[in-house]
Amino acid sequence: MVPAVSASLNGSSDVTDFVINQGHGVKGLSETGIKALPKQYIQPLQERVITKIEPRESIPVIDMSKWDDPQVANSICDAAEKWGFFQVVNHGVPLEVLDNVKKATYGFFGLPAEEKRKYSKENSPSNNIRFGTSFSPQAEKALEWKDYLSLFYVSEEEAALWPPVCKDQILEYMMSSKPLINHLLQVLMKRLNVNEIDETKQNLLTGSVRTNINYYPICPNPELTVGIGRHSDVSTLTVLLQDSVGGLYVRGNEGEDSWIHVPPIDGAIVINIGDALQIMSNGRYRSVEHRVTANGSSNRISVPIFVNPRPQDIIGPLPETLANGEKPIYKQVLYSDYVRHFFKKAHDGKDTVDFAKITESY
Ligand SMILES: COc1cc(/C=C/C(=O)SCCNC(=O)CCNC(=O)[C@H](O)C(C)(C)COP(=O)(O)OP(=O)(O)OC[C@H]2O[C@@H](n3cnc4c(N)ncnc43)[C@H](O)[C@@H]2OP(=O)(O)O)ccc1O
Ligand SMILES: O=C(O)CCC(=O)C(=O)O
Ligand SMILES: [Fe+2]
């Protein structure tokens, strides 16, 4: 499309205006046929290079068909402790629901820029609905090659304001994932000696839900930038649907340069532990750094459901995790303060969690 548009995007401010203000996103930029990556997307060397060492181990794939089996429960807890990431198959979320949400994601990003722009921070009918690009463009020295729509679920009535092209499919995906989410949390809690999830705990673990749809368009110089930079999620846990393109890497256990690819598996869902659960488990379950590479030949989409405490909840190590005299390594923090801290800076790997760390004073 439109080489004339590409030719007219001369300076940085033209690109920023086209991508952010006019609502074309990086998808629009990619579709101009742009041949070289604009300089504001060039990441520092250390952020873009993934050393291609073949890792000796891979992220576990857990078959959930016998989900009451204690061995399945053990695999879930072991993976949460060791990797912070695992994939599940035979998880009970209908495959048709997954297909529908992927199609709906393409539907939303395929809308003209003037339609998508209606959901930008400045124009959105609600603060809980946000179409954007990169992560936090005001705070970032280098931008990321990704557009997103972020939907914080408040109520059915408010969801009526979500873009009609994807609303029903996203709601269906969220609702169909609930039994899986509750089961995973029940199993994970049991290992922490939490045998009953009462209403207070349920709210703490699953009281708010944010679903994002991510679009990573074809990139002219994928080796110079990233789709998403190193970060850990601030959720309790994240249920992530990816398509068949690949590009999600997780920090492995074999040193600084160890990044493990999460290979797309048809019908599988990726699960990752977020910072809130790392804090609540006093570090036993790990919220692990991950990143997404840019791709020179395929567009990619993903759909994370972030399951979180409520903004007004105070999070800290659960009393059950400290019952045996274990020392708390995290303090009590207001969850919305934690999330605001995450959003107001560029991605910086695992540094967000320091916000909740107890610092030794001498
Ligand atoms: C986008 O690229 C991403 C995203 C991620 C996400 C990973 C996650 O784990 S998301 C799960 C986060 N948890 C929750 O949202 C649940 C709790 N929610 C809250 O506490 C509140 O909703 C709130 C997030 C604190 C927002 O509070 P509110 O008072 O309603 O809103 P503001 O004051 O307008 O927002 C403050 C500030 O936050 C930033 N922000 C808000 N929403 C988003 C969003 N959807 N996406 C990006 N940034 C957001 C923003 O900076 C706001 O300041 P402004 O000046 O811009 O208004 C992982 C990786 C990614 O690459
Ligand atoms: O696209 C992916 O595979 C991962 C997305 C992600 O990490 C996020 O949205 O937090
Ligand atoms: Fe993430």
Per-residue confidence at 8, pLDDT binned at 50, 70, 90? low
CB-based burial label for 160 (10 Å; 0-12, 13-18, 19+): exposed
- Gap from CA of 10 to ligand 2 centroid (Å): 31
Per-residue confidence at 3, pLDDT binned at 50, 70, 90? very low
3-class DSSP state of 346 = coil
- Gap from CA of 43 to ligand 3 centroid (Å): 18
Which listed ligand is nearest to 292 at the C-alpha?
2
CB of 166 closer than 8 Å to CB of 174: no
Q: According to the model, what pLDDT value does residue 350 have?
A: 81
CB of 240 closer than 8 Å to CB of 304: yes
The residue behind tokens 């722009």 is 117
CA–CA separation, 240 vs 305, rounded Å?
Answer: 6
Percent of the chain with pLDDT over 70: 95
CB of 213 closer than 8 Å to CB of 129: no
Average pLDDT over the chain reads: 94
Tokens for 87? 């994939």
Which listed ligand is nearest to 150 at the C-alpha?
1
Contacts (Cβ under 8 Å, ≥6 apart) of 173? 93, 97, 98, 100, 101, 211, 241, 303, 305
Q: What is the arithmetic mean of pLDDT over 167-191?
A: 98
Task: Kindly indicate whether the ipTM for this predicted assembly is greater than 0.90, answering yes or no.
Answer: yes
Q: According to the model, what pLDDT value does residue 349 have?
A: 83
- Whether 85 shows a pLDDT value over 70: the answer reads yes
Q: What is the arithmetic mean of pLDDT over 216-240?
A: 97
- Gap from CA of 249 to ligand 3 centroid (Å): 10
Q: According to the model, what pLDDT value does residue 48 have?
A: 86
Contacts (Cβ under 8 Å, ≥6 apart) of 109? 25, 27, 116, 147, 213, 215, 301
Taking alpha carbons only, the member of 224, 221, 228, 218 closest to residue 48 is 224
Tokens for 128? 């809980």
CB atoms closer than 10 angstroms to residue 46: 7
- Whether 221 shows a pLDDT value over 80: the answer reads yes
Q: Which CATH class is domain 16-356?
A: mainly beta
Q: Relative to the CA of 335, which ligand 1 atom is closest?
A: 20
- Whether 283 shows a pLDDT value over 80: the answer reads yes
Q: Of the ranges 43-52, 75-84, 137-146, which one carries the lowest mean pLDDT score?
A: 43-52
| HEC sequence for 242-271 | ECCCCCEEEECCCCCCCEEECCCCCCCEEE
User: Is beta strand 290-292 parallel, antiparallel or unpaired with respect to 248-251?
Assistant: antiparallel
Beta bridge partners of 87: 61, 270
- Whether 26 shows a pLDDT value over 80: the answer reads yes
- Whether 323 shows a pLDDT value over 60: the answer reads yes
The whole-model pTM stands at: 0.96
User: Is beta strand 61-63 parallel, antiparallel or unpaired with respect to 85-89?
Assistant: parallel
Tokens for 76? 């879930």
Tens digits of residue pLDDT in 194-205: 999 999 999 999
Domain positions in the chain:
16-356
* CA angle (87, 151, 99) in 5-degree steps: 45
- Considering only residues 147 and 141, tell me which one the structure prediction assigns the higher pLDDT: 147
Cα 34 to the center of its chain, rounded Å: 28
Tens digits of residue pLDDT in 36-78: 999 999 999 989 877 666 677 899 999 999 999 999 999 999 9
- Gap from CA of 157 to ligand 1 centroid (Å): 21
Contacts (Cβ under 8 Å, ≥6 apart) of 72? 62, 63, 64, 66, 187
* CA angle (355, 356, 359) in 5-degree steps: 90
CA–CA separation, 190 vs 86, rounded Å?
Answer: 18
Q: According to the model, what pLDDT value does residue 226 have?
A: 97
- Considering only residues 141 and 27, tell me which one the structure prediction assigns the higher pLDDT: 27
CA-proximal residue: ligand 1, atom 7 (nearest): 233
- Ligand 1 contact via 121 beta carbon (within 6 Å): yes
CB of 238 closer than 8 Å to CB of 274: yes
- Whether 10 shows a pLDDT value over 90: the answer reads no
Which listed ligand is nearest to 247 at the C-alpha?
2
Q: Relative to the CA of 233, which ligand 2 atom is closest?
A: 10
CA–CA separation, 145 vs 215, rounded Å?
Answer: 9
Tens digits of residue pLDDT in 232-268: 999 999 999 999 999 999 998 877 788 999 999 999 9
Please, how many CA atoms are within 13 Å of residue 133, restricted to the half-sphere of its CB?
A: 26
Residue 127 vs residues 69, 119, 131, 141: alpha-carbon distances, Å: 42, 9, 11, 25
Q: According to the model, what pLDDT value does residue 172 have?
A: 98
Q: According to the model, what pLDDT value does residue 13 have?
A: 74
CA–CA separation, 15 vs 25, rounded Å?
Answer: 10
